[in-house]
Amino acid sequence: MFDVVIIGAGVIGSSVARALSKYQLKVLVLEKHNDVCEETSKANSGIVHSGYDAKTGTLKAKFNLLGNRMMADFCKKYRVPYRNNGSLVLAFEDEDIQKLDELKKQGMKNGVERLRILSKDEVHEMEPNLNDSVVGALYAPTGGIVDPFELTIAQAEIANMNGVEFRFNSLVKSISKSKDHFLINFNDEIIESKTVINCAGVFSDEINNMVSEYKLHITPRKGEYCLFDKEVGHYVDKTIFQLPTAYGKGVLVTPTAENNLLIGPTAYDVIDKRDSSTSPEGLKEVLAKASQSIKKVPTGFIITAFSGLRATESKGDFVIGEAKDVPGFFNAAGIESPGLTAAPAIGDYLSSVVAQKLNADIKSNYLDNREEIIRFEPLSIEDKASLIKKNHEFGKIICRCEMVTLAEIKDAIHRPLGATTIDGVKRRTRAGAGRCQGGFCGPRVLEILSKELNKDPREITKFDQQAILLVGLDKETL
Amino acid sequence: MPTKEMICISCPMGCMLSVDYDETGVLKVTGNQCKRGEIYASKEVINPRRVVTSIVPVIGGVEDMVSVKTATDIPKDLMKDCILALKNIKVQAPVEIGQVILENVCGTNVCVIATKRVEKKL
Amino acid sequence: MINKDIVIIGGGPAGLAAAIGAYEAGNKDIVILERDNQLGGILNQCIHPGFGLHTFKEELTGPEYASRYVKKINDLGIESKLETMVIDIAPNLIVSAINETEGVIQYQAKAVILAMGCRERPRGALNIPGTRPAGIYSAGTAQRYVNIEGFMPGKSVVILGSGDIGLIMARRLTLEGANVKTVVEIMPYSGGLKRNIVQCLDDFNIPLKLSHTVTKIHGKTRVTGVTIARVDDDKKPIPGTEEFIECDTLLLSVGLIPENELSRKVGVKINPRTQGPIVTESLETSIKGIFAAGNVLHVHDLVDYVSGEAYLAGKNSVKYIDGLLNENHMINIVTQDGVRYSVPSSINPKNAEDLSLIRFRSTDVYKDAYVSVFLDQERIIHSKKKIITPGEMEQVTILKKWLQDRPINSIFIKIEKE
Ligand SMILES: Cc1cc2nc3c(=O)[nH]c(=O)nc-3n(C[C@H](O)[C@H](O)[C@H](O)COP(=O)(O)OP(=O)(O)OC[C@H]3O[C@@H](n4cnc5c(N)ncnc54)[C@H](O)[C@@H]3O)c2cc1C
Ligand SMILES: Cc1cc2nc3c(=O)[nH]c(=O)nc-3n(C[C@H](O)[C@H](O)[C@H](O)COP(=O)(O)OP(=O)(O)OC[C@H]3O[C@@H](n4cnc5c(N)ncnc54)[C@H](O)[C@@H]3O)c2cc1C
Ligand code: SF4
């Protein structure tokens, strides 16, 4: 019998797991993919929103602000790439300045600090590459950017170090309640738990609806992006929004925490919750809209395109807390934007509620940090030299674009909840995330995975179990 | 007298050849920039031939595979059979360039030879 | 810090020939730095025949061609360091490299020769919409799997782009047991050599669809198919011409880009057309003492040309060190009317060889047209060609004596209809 079963290992499930791992509880995370961070948490803007955007009084507004305030220290402590770059909301018409002012007022009500309206001259001085048509902006100095993969992975790792069990390739098919505990059916196995926390992203309505009569309804809303080479990563410094429309925040242009340039997302409702494909129309729209904000969209530097699905709940707000009709069943459902920002705060909040319910005590031996992660590339020549002396595998560069070494890849594989796939290595080390997108290092990473995990190269996948890379040997089918 | 247009594949120049031929063989080749073009055309009209390359596993070498080729061209129709003939062949390291890997492949009287050196793993 | 007269970055055919060129010009203080565990560069995975006809008068495979140069390097006793990656070149010619055994190695060079080759253009550069499953490879990655590691990346394959690597992989994959369904090319002409269309596609009845492109990738975990469509003159897909092709693999053979991260970082001027350094007749870049040759300079079809060019770069680096490279009297080479670029982009008659080769590519396909070279106003070359295509590099030879007779400002190269 588990004390807590968490369904979903996105940033929300991982945050909850991290926060719960402080307590003397038996916790299990069930995730249908074979790694953490395989759905919405891997495909978003990576913005730490300052919090002016959400309607005052909503859970979105509350957890956004809490999350934003935690983020800098949190990321420093857990070694997650983060930068407090600030954000701008652009106005293109004089009458829009009025709307900026409303936004500013809402922000102040939400508790956002230091919001300021900038004049045309001020904006252009701050961001020289903005389009001339920009007439003013709302400046939010508390906005930031974060690496969404690491934010998820770091928390999952801490949870795991503190005894939380993760089972991957585990699709939860049904949940039922029997007297004082839950029976959870996944992969035709049934386990028992005193409580359940639903962190299933776009599927969180389905999980909720398995046990609660208070039905949720989530519409997946797709957002498509283009990612650009580091060469143009400093084209803008701040995160550049456009004034919101009925369909969300418009298109943004931002540096990422890893110094690429990102533009997007679109916002279209889709039917299939598994559809994260990109479309010609979407990519065209993103490029067109971005060209309103910045002088020149550097289309020659696109290195990839991707899309993510927002879990838009019909009432428009996060659903967080115990289901009214099912004691012991907790939701973190409908966590769309600003979910990434809010995640650590949602995790802290839900864990304390659940721990209280279970009367759990704090562990005495809680490990509140992860082991150091060494990034070779940014080091000085001297530091590089001394590092290779300590561990010669830092002298072997596997990914030439991002300068990732063998030592870093091996570390990513052998850490708690380490990488088992090509994408897993990429998200943890950035090998393959650069301009050649794994063309050079792909076969090398595959070889390392196969060696370190003691698996046949044909068993190594890109992600999940079915995303096979090598189908056989030469001549095998002859 | 039939004429055939073809691209010479004997070297990367890829000359456009015009070949006049009849039952007795090739009469005239034009468009070639060197003698090899003529030889190619004569073969291609009557009995097209190709060099086949592949790789085979090496046992105990510093590399797992070694590249190989047919020492000369073989009839084009036998390309697939040639690869098939290599299917279960393995060689012991060390391997030298030119070393015979398989003799008389598919009855062509042509050997398959190594095109790379693979040293023994120590 | 190690003092070294000549530091060569990259141990592919360009690096090897440059080293021999320098050695034979009289300077033996050379090191070749190569990040792979063997010399030979891309040739190690090009196991097909087609190399060295010009140089050795016989048709060799890539590894065989490389081995001849490697043998020579060894016989001459030229130093090379394997598994050693150059991570920085400073403007004062300090070259920093790292490897596992020595850590960081720094050389103070008198001349540096760039011979880093090229890399493949990735999917992102094309921005093909659809899903992001496993089963999408660049042709060179597939080549490495099939030719070096012995693994098949797929069973049924569509190839996008008719560059040589793609064509060659069509044949290799077919012979090793895969079903190559088609090669799709967005341009109205092939990007590869004619001979490769014949012996890699025609021989196996693999259709080449010109003026077509892949408009969508299907499949959630592994590729399940692609949609292709015909394109119009602006290369935009024509609605209604879409066709679904079932396959488990998409190979991209959509071009090579010279690998110039290091060159850009040190400030070498890059030609936007070639993506390689701008060089003089001596293959010197915009930074004194830094030379470039091979695919890092511009993408070559023929390794023989790479070797020849690099040999010259090596030789000139010695001239430079000995103070024998003249720095004035540059004649610009201007490319016009159907000529996309030329290498070199200037000639100094004082430094030129008796015969200077100018290599270039056309912007389009021309039939029965003339390649013309003008010295200022005067046309000195007017040579008829049956066909000129961007897929095949062209060259003209300039005699040194033409440039010495009288002062010349510019050399113009163009393609003329008559
Ligand atoms: C386009 C876009 C842009 C965004 N930009 C931002 C931003 O800039 N800033 C910000 O703060 N937020 C942003 N967000 C929101 C943020 O990305 C999400 O709120 C957050 O990632 C949600 O995390 P999650 O863990 O709830 O969902 P997910 O990451 O989707 O995780 C849910 C997990 O549950 C698993 N699961 C589902 N069903 C089952 C089952 N039955 N059994 C087992 N496992 C299951 C899934 O496999 C998945 O791994 C954006 C979102 C989108 C789509
Ligand atoms: C698939 C394919 C088929 C071909 N077919 C033919 C053919 O049939 N006939 C023909 O004549 N030619 C052919 N060619 C062309 C010929 O092979 C190339 O033009 C030639 O290999 C280019 O030589 P290079 O030395 O410039 O580059 P490469 O061979 O790419 O060598 C560059 C070397 O530099 C190293 N390097 C790069 N960066 C660094 C760094 N920072 N530090 C250390 N080392 C570094 C690389 O590891 C590599 O070894 C073909 C090419 C390809 C790709
Ligand atoms: S005719 Fe000679 S030059 Fe022309 S392609 Fe054939 S072998 Fe090459």
How far is the alpha carbon of A475 from chain B, nearest alpha carbon, in Å? 6
Rounded mean pLDDT, A357-371: 95
pLDDT for C95 beyond 60: yes
At A273 the three-state DSSP class reads: coil
Residues C267 and C114: their CA atoms lie apart, in Å, by: 13
Residue A10's nearest CA partner among A44, A41, A31, A46 is A41
d(CA A462, CA A446): 9
- The residue whose CA has the least distance to atom 3 of ligand 1 is A44
Residues within 8 A of B (CB atoms), A 458-477 only: 474-475
How high is the pLDDT of residue C266?
Answer: 97
Nearest protein Cα to ligand 1, atom 2: A44
Q: How many CB atoms lie within 10 A of CB C13?
A: 33
**Average pLDDT taken over every residue of chain A:** 95
Phi/psi of residue C309, each to 5°? Answer: -60, -45
Mean pLDDT calculated for residue range C117-130: 81
User: In whole angstroms, what is the distance from residue A27 CA to residue A20 CA?
Assistant: 8
- What's the CA dihedral at A149, A152, A156, A158 to 10 degrees? 100
Residues 6+ apart with CB under 8 A from B55: A474, B65, B66, B67, B68, C47, C147, C148, C150
Residue C343 Cα to ligand 2 middle (Å): 18
Q: In angstroms, what is the span from residue C193 Cα to ligand 3's centroid?
A: 13
CB contact under 8 A, C203 and B79: yes
pLDDT, tens digit (0-9, with 9 covering 90-100), for A344-355: 999 999 999 999
Least confident of A126-135, A202-211, B18-27, C367-376: B18-27
Distance CA A177, CA A301 (A): 53
Yes or no: say if C154 and A471 are a contact pair by the CB < 8 Å rule.
Answer: yes
Closest listed residue to residue C249, CA positions, set C197, C178, C192, C184: C178
Polymer length in residues for chain A:
478
Give residue-wise pLDDT tens across range A254-293: 999 999 999 999 999 999 999 989 998 998 999 999 999 9
CA angle A28, A416, C134 (to 5 degrees): 90
Across the interface, which of C98, C132, C248 has its CB nearest the CB of A395? C98
How is residue A283 written in tokens? 């990519």
Asked if the C-beta of A270 comes within 8 angstroms of chain C's C-beta atoms, the answer is no
Per-residue pLDDT at C51: 93
| pLDDT given for residue C124 in this prediction | 67
Fold observed for domain C1-119+255-325 = FAD/NAD(P)-binding domain (3.50.50)
Please state which CATH number belongs to domain B53-114: 3.10.530.10
- Number of helical H runs and strand E runs in chain A: 12, 23
Q: How high is the pLDDT of residue B13?
A: 75
From chain C, the residues in CB contact with B64 under 8 A are: 149-150
What is the model's pLDDT at position C32? 98
Least confident of A29-43, A171-185, A247-261, B85-99: A247-261
C-alpha to C-alpha distance for C2 and A228, rounded to whole angstroms:
38
Of C49, C198, C392, the CB nearest to B69: C49
pLDDT tens digits, residue range C361-398?
999 889 889 999 999 989 989 999 888 888 788 999 99
Q: Which amino acid is it at A51?
A: G
Alpha carbon of residue C125 to chain centroid: 18
pLDDT for C347 equals 93
Q: How far apart are CA A256 and CA A232, in angstroms?
A: 11
How large is the average pLDDT for residues A1-19? Answer: 98
Q: Is the complex ipTM more than 0.90? A: yes
DSSP code per residue over A313-373: ETTSS-EEEE-TTSTTEEEEES--TTHHHHHHHHHHHHHHHHHHHTTPPBPSS----PPP-
Proximal ligand: closest to the CA of A320:
1
φ and ψ at residue A259, rounded to 5 degrees = 70, 20
Question: Which residues on chain A are in Cβ contact (under 8 Å) with B68?
Answer: none
Residue A249 confidence (pLDDT): 57
H or E element in which residue A256 lies: none
Would the pLDDT of C123 be above 80? no
Which tens digit of pLDDT belongs to each residue from C183-213?
999 999 888 888 899 999 999 999 999 999 9
pLDDT above 90 (res C158): yes
CB contact under 8 A, B117 and C67: yes
Q: Which CATH code of 3.40.50.1220, 3.90.420.10, 3.50.50.60, 3.30.420.10 fits the domain covering C122-254?
A: 3.50.50.60
Q: Ligand 1: distance of its center to the CA of C140 in Å?
A: 35
Residue C202: CB atoms within 10 A of its CB come to 15
Residues 313-372 (A) with a CB less than 8 A from some CB of C: none
**Mean pLDDT, rounded, for A6-10:** 98
CB–CB contact B84 A475 (8 Å): yes
Interface test with C, best of A277, A401, A451 (most C CBs within 10 A): A277
Exposed/middle/buried for residue A359 (C-beta within 10 Å: 0-12, 13-18, 19+): exposed
Beta strands per DSSP E along C126-211: 136-138, 151-152, 156-160, 179-184, 208-209
List chains touching B (3+ CB pairs under 8 A).
Answer: A, C
Query: Pairing mode, if any, of strands C366-375 and A329-333?
Result: unpaired
Closest CA to A236 of A258, A259, A218: A259
Angstroms from A149 CA to nearest CA on chain C: 17
Instruction: Give me the mean pLDDT over the C308-317 stretch.
Output: 97
Angle formed at CA C10 by CA C4 and CA C14, multiple of 5 degrees: 105
For residues C154 and C147, give the distance between their C-alpha atoms in angstroms, rounded to a whole number: 14
Q: Mean pLDDT over residues A220-224, rounded?
A: 96
DSSP label at A22? Answer: T
Q: From B87, which residue of chain C is nearest by alpha-carbon distance?
A: C176
Which residues, 6 or more positions from C153, have their beta carbon under 8 angstroms from its beta carbon?
A469, A470, A471, C135, C137, C141, C142, C145, C146, C249, C251
Instruction: Give yes or no for residue B3 having a pLDDT over 90.
Output: no
CA dihedral B45, B47, B51, B55 (to 10 degrees): 130
Q: How far is the centre of ligand 3, averaged over its atoms, from the C-alpha of C200 (Å)? A: 17
* pLDDT > 60? residue C274: yes
Q: Give mean pLDDT, residues A114-136.
A: 96
Q: Out of A48-62, B20-34, C234-248, which region has the weakest mean confidence (pLDDT)?
A: B20-34
> Which chains would you list as touching A if contact means 3+ CB atom pairs under 8 Å?
B, C
User: Is the Cβ pair C59, B53 closer than 8 Å?
Assistant: no
Q: Does A245 score more than 60 pLDDT?
A: no
**Statement: residue C286 has pLDDT above 80:** yes
Contact by Cβ (8 Å): C227, A472: no
C250-262: average pLDDT: 93
Which pair of structure tokens corresponds to residue A116?
């300021």
Q: Report the residue count for chain B.
A: 122
Give the residue-averaged pLDDT of A115-128: 97
Pocket of ligand 1, beta carbon within 6 A: A 7-13, 30-33, 38-41, 44-47, 49, 170-172, 199-201, 203, 223, 265, 308-310, 335-341
Q: For residue A428, give the nearest of A399, A456, A396 by alpha carbon.
A: A399
Ligand 2, closest atom to CA C45?
1
Determine the distance in angstroms separating the CA of C346 from the nearest CA of chain A, rounded to an integer.
28
Q: Is A246 on the interface with B (CB under 8 A)?
A: no
- What is the spatial distance between Cα C224 and Cα C207, in angstroms, rounded to a whole number? 20
Alpha-helical runs (H) found in A21-147: 59-77, 96-110, 120-126
Indicate if the pLDDT at residue C126 is higher than 80.
Answer: no
What is C328-418's CATH topology? Immunoglobulin-like (2.60.40)
Per the CB < 8 A criterion, the answer to whether C128 and C31 are in contact is no
**Catalytic residues of A, which ones?**
49
Other Cβ atoms less than 10 A from the Cβ of A272: the count is: 11
Rounded CA separation C247/C156 (Å): 5
* Residues framing ligand 2 (Cβ under 6 A): B 12; C 9-15, 33-36, 41-43, 46, 50-51, 85-86, 115-117, 164-165, 168, 259, 262, 294-296, 300, 302-304, 306
Residue ranges, CATH 3.50.50.60, chain C:
1-119+255-325, 122-254
- In eight-state DSSP terms, residue A55 is P
Distance (Å, whole) CA A126 – CA C160: 43
Chain segment A403-440, per-residue pLDDT in tens: 999 999 999 999 999 999 999 999 999 999 988 888 88
Which SS3 state, helix, strand or coil, does residue B9 take?
Answer: coil
Residue A167 has pLDDT above 80, yes or no: yes
Check if the beta carbon of residue C39 is closer than 8 Å to that of residue C80.
yes
pLDDT of A391 above 60: yes
CA-to-CA dists, residue A453 to A319, C15, C63, C74, C110, angstroms: 39, 37, 32, 38, 46
Q: Which domains does chain A have, with CATH numbers?
A: 2-41+149-217+315-357 (3.50.50.60), 82-145+219-310 (3.30.9.10), 381-459 (1.10.10.1100)
- Candidates B43, B59, B69: best to mutate against C (most CBs of C within 10 A) is B69
Identify the nearest ligand to the CA of A312 by its number.
Answer: 1
pLDDT > 90 fraction of chain B, expressed in percent and rounded: 64
Structure tokens, A309: 């699905």
Ligand 3 lined by B32 (C-beta under 6 Å): yes
Alpha carbons A147 and A154: distance in angstroms, whole number? 11
Distance from CA of B80 to the nearest CA of C (A): 6
By C-alpha distance, which of A228, A82, A56 is closest to A142?
Answer: A82
Cα–Cα distance for residue pair A462/A424, rounded to 1 Å: 8
Q: What number is the average pLDDT over the span A6-18?
A: 98
d(CA C201, CA A287): 37
Provide the residue ranges of all domains of chain B, joining segments of one domain with +.
Answer: 3-46, 53-114
Question: Using CA atoms, how far apart are residues A266 and A242, in angstroms rounded to an integer?
Answer: 12
Query: Is the CB of A471 less than 8 angstroms away from the CB of C140?
Result: no
Give distance in angstroms: CA of A12 to centre of ligand 1: 7
| Whether the predicted pLDDT of C99 surpasses 60 | yes
Parallel, antiparallel, or unpaired: how do β-strands B53-59 and A404-405 relate?
A: unpaired
User: What is the rounded CA–CA span in Å between residue A258 and residue A230?
Assistant: 8
Measuring CA to CA, which residue among A314, A305, A310, A319 is closest to residue A273? Answer: A310
How far does the centroid of ligand 3 lie from the alpha carbon of residue A288, in Å? 50
Residues B16, B17, B22: CA angle, nearest 5 degrees: 155
Of ligand 3's listed atoms, the one at least distance from the Cα of B31 is 1
Q: What is the pLDDT of residues C326-352, one digit of tens each?
A: 887 789 999 998 999 999 999 998 899
The DSSP code for C134 is B
**Residue B43 Cβ contacting ligand 3 at under 6 Å:** no
> In chain B, whose CA is at the least distance from the CA of C164?
B12
Contact A477 C177 (CB under 8 A): yes
